[in-house]
Amino acid sequence: MRDGPEVGRVPMPCRRLRSAGAGLLVSSLVAVSLAATSAHAARARVHEDAGFQLFESPQANPLALSHDGARLYVALTTANAVEVYDTATRARLAVVPVGIDPVAVAVRPDGNEVWVANHVSDSVSVIDANPASPTLHTVIETVDAVDANGVTAFDEPVGIAFASSAKAYVALSSRNRIAIVDAAAYAVAGQLPIPAQDPRALAVRGGRLYVAAFESGNQSELSVCAFANGTPQCTFGFQQVLNVGTQPNLPGIPKNVVVDPDVPDRDLFVFDTATDAPVGAPVSGVGTLLYGVAVDGAGRVFVANTDARNHHLDGNGLAAQPPEGLGLGLADLANRPFRNRVTRIDCGGAGCGAPLRVDLEPPPGSSVPTPLATPYGIQASADGSVLVVTAAGSDRLASLDAASLAVLDTLDVGANPRGVAFASSGAGGTAYVLNTLGNSVSVVAVGAGGSLSPLATIPIAIGRDRTPDGVRRGRIAFNSARASSSGTFACASCHPDAHVDQLLWVIGARCTEAGCDQEEQRSTMPIRGLRGTLPLHWDGTLGDPFGGRNGEVGVDGAAPPTCSLANGEQACFRDIVDASLAGVMCVQPGCGAGPSGLPGLLGDAEREDMALYLQQVSYPPARSRPASDVVTPLARSGFSDFFMDQGGNGDATANTCADTTGGCHALPLGASTNSVAVGGFEAPTMRGMTDRFLQFSGGFTNPQEVLDVVAGASGFGVIPWDPDEGLDELVVFSSPFVAFQPLYDVLPTGLFQMFEEASTGHSGALGRQLTLSARTTGAGALAATTARLAQLEDADARGVVNLRGEGVRDAGAGLAPVHLGYRADVDAYTGAGVQLTRAQLLAEAAAGTTRVTLTARLRANDGAPDFLAPLVATAATGDGATGDPPLPVLPAGNPMTLSGVAVRGDAAVLVDGAPVAATITCQGGSFAPVYCSSNVVRVTLAAIPANGTHLLQLQNPKSALSNELPFCVGPVAGCL
């Protein structure tokens, strides 16, 4: 160890940002030399490789057949590519790079294009599928919608369906909208609002568009009403909800999870593709989580779904009162929390009929010899008599009789099949099953009577997929129903796509405080972004290396640690894996020992892999973050409101939303343990709040009755609930501000905009795409294209993305593949033997000699263990000039002494999204072996920014960004 602190010098990188409005005429561009100079070519080198992050983006129809059945197109979500296969020879014809996390594939009706939804890139890649085209199997266009700041209006696309070769629909899942796309102009022409959560799977048939809302729900909620009336539906009143802030368990109050008929239940939406007008009312009662949709020629709609048994009408959710005691929640479920179903709705007339729901397994309480967990992909035979359905959790394909929905046959396939394409000319045909986590396609013969016979397995090349082997295995275990005693559900059944099911469950949460006499209800929590947030789950009883108070024992109780940090966080994640396998995943009571010797199933190696996987899932980029990473004034005010004392009437326990002493949503990740302010509970991260309407542990803020009561409140910032629009995240978030606004003197809109824009470790430019072609560089489009290109180049120059391009280029010998990377040091695009300035690249695109799609990909070290995203917080706790947390106030506070986890000595310092000259020292330790050993760093800015609130981030070389730490420059009053 060196004497004194080790120093990492952070230079101001070379940065050149042109005016986004600098227009160039096509005529002048064409005059630019189309070839790189020999001097430039000599300096050229291939740009850095793209890094890897697991985002767990949801798939919907991730493979498709050409209309003649000769070609199979397969989306490889974690490899950012589409593979093309010859169905006769099963040979791989092409690997087409697309955007980040492709999740859905659709073939245009004329067969000349294949459209691919890129979930993280917020785009659709258009692949040339015309065999006679010189650009066959190349991305020739990109569909998206971004504003001048690079903020998307095309967020998280999933399903794609064509009304015609001139019109397409794309599901914008997190925005609850369907984009209407002009397929000739490759532009968004309009949007259809979907008043339900998370539309994903789409289908078009017979002039109608069918939209399935994934998180459609089942009308379940907490049993709170305006006033208690003694019925299971209304066990306590709104006035008691106001005590939740300090007593989240509400000891002594019976709490049920009940079905409320007044809660909107909109599952399936139907639109006329000629007019885009709704056809009848939305269909309700289809299921809880709707994975796939198929339509036959008679207008019968088939939906693959799971239906949750979390409520009092289906065996769970009632408060367990003495003498029964605790634990009945899990026992009552009999290890069957979900019904695995296919639902049929007849929509062949003027509207849709009532749904027919059929379970694919024997009823709960019965043995299940052939589980069909998590019905996902679904297709109908040409004559509509046979269905093929993938059971993702059971690694099976099933065939069903379309009339009765009875299971005809089953066949084991690869790991976690999520998509099926069906080449059928009658009742039977050939099914192609994408085993998403098994990296293969199963080719299956489907007989006229529904028999299933294996024909072949096509292995998928995973060279582009950098998922570590242990994470890959852990992901399989997490998504496998083998982890449950009944074999009918997986861990992912409640945490689909590492997210949430938006449901309350009574499945094991305990309260030992005085007055507690029931097993407690809890909402599910995201798997995303768990690293650095220990302990885990609401109660803080799982993966707890600290001990002390928690949600089970309360503020005055004390529990021992359940794990150790001696070897990092792995043991603590293993603790939650073991607890889950012995608890909710295992039949109760009397869960026996499994292969590991511990209660529950799965062996020791699988448990270790699952624990590793749980630490690796990232949140996607914040959906409203500008490409410049400079947050909007409203979001900046949200940072001030969240982190600084605004003068509310709160006591010393908590004076900000991020209060460290009170254990609120503290830095670095908005999470605190053993919170004295909220009854010993965990204060969970606020990341992902924009896509969760069930936002509190006990589900107290989203019941219909609560929203009705607070809708009339004025002066608190509450946004009235409109049942016609369904459960909206901002509306639900605003509902508790009848209590929060007086406490903190803040309003919800600025805070929510902060959630919309706050960094999740990724730039707002990450994933953005731009295709350079004669169309996009024409006179009418050139200015906008140039401005967007400047944004992407600036993001690369700032070091927050890795701008790469793939396409074709004619250097004089005909079109050939070209791979380019932007290099800020020479301000040019380089590849093997080529270097092009921006002007040269645009000129070649305008002339038609180059067609390239640029993508802002991950930096090369993203996801590497020695280049983790740092976690930054204030080193001190308690009140400071800004309140609690004591944020740095400059210039007096420069240098800033901070808590810094996973900080390297060569980390960069960014202020408001831009790198700045600064030094980093490791206080009381050294940068050895990799990171600052003391977890305390001192950051010294070479220049002080202008007065006001600013956001500091650290970034290890070529990797992800830290969280944002606000600091104030000048008088504190100017930062509030």
Q: In the chain, which residues fall in CATH 2.60.40?
A: 869-976
Q: Which residue has the higher pLDDT, 647 or 247?
A: 647
Token pair of 764, please? 């707002």
Pairing mode, if any, of strands 338-346 and 236-237? Answer: unpaired
Mean pLDDT of 584-602: 96
Helix orientation angle between 782-797 and 838-847, rounded to the nearest 10 degrees? 140
- Angstrom CA distances, 10 to 669, 920, 945, stand at 24, 7, 17
- Between CA 177 and CA 154 the distance in angstroms is 9
Look at residue 24 and tell me whether its pLDDT is greater than 70. Answer: no
Mean pLDDT value across the chain? 92
How far, in Å, CA of 167 to CA of 178, rounded?
13
Q: What pLDDT, in 10s, does the model give residues 308-352?
A: 999 988 878 776 554 344 446 788 899 999 999 999 999 999 999
- Looking at residue 510, its pLDDT comes to 84
Lowest mean pLDDT among 441-455, 468-482, 736-750, 913-927: 736-750
Whether 911 has a pLDDT exceeding 70, the answer reads yes
| pLDDT confidence bin for 458, thresholds 50/70/90 | very high
How confident is the model over 603-625, as pLDDT tens digits? 999 999 999 999 999 999 999 99
Count Cβ atoms below 10 Å from residue 224 Cβ, excluding itself.
Answer: 29
Dihedral angle at the C-alpha atoms of 106, 111, 112, 113, nearest 10 degrees?
0
At residue 509 the predicted structure's pLDDT band, cuts being 50, 70 and 90, is confident
pLDDT at 370 over 60: yes
Distance (Å, whole) CA 83 – CA 913: 36
3-state DSSP: the chain helix, strand, coil percent, rounded to 5? Answer: 15, 30, 50
Q: Which CATH architecture has domain 869-976?
A: Sandwich (2.60)
Length of the chain (residues): 976
**Spatial CA neighbour of 316 closest among 491, 511, 522, 517:** 522
Give the tens place of pLDDT for each residue, 536-556: 988 999 999 999 999 899 888
Contact of 937 with 952, CB cutoff 8 Å: no
Query: How high is the pLDDT of residue 652?
Result: 60
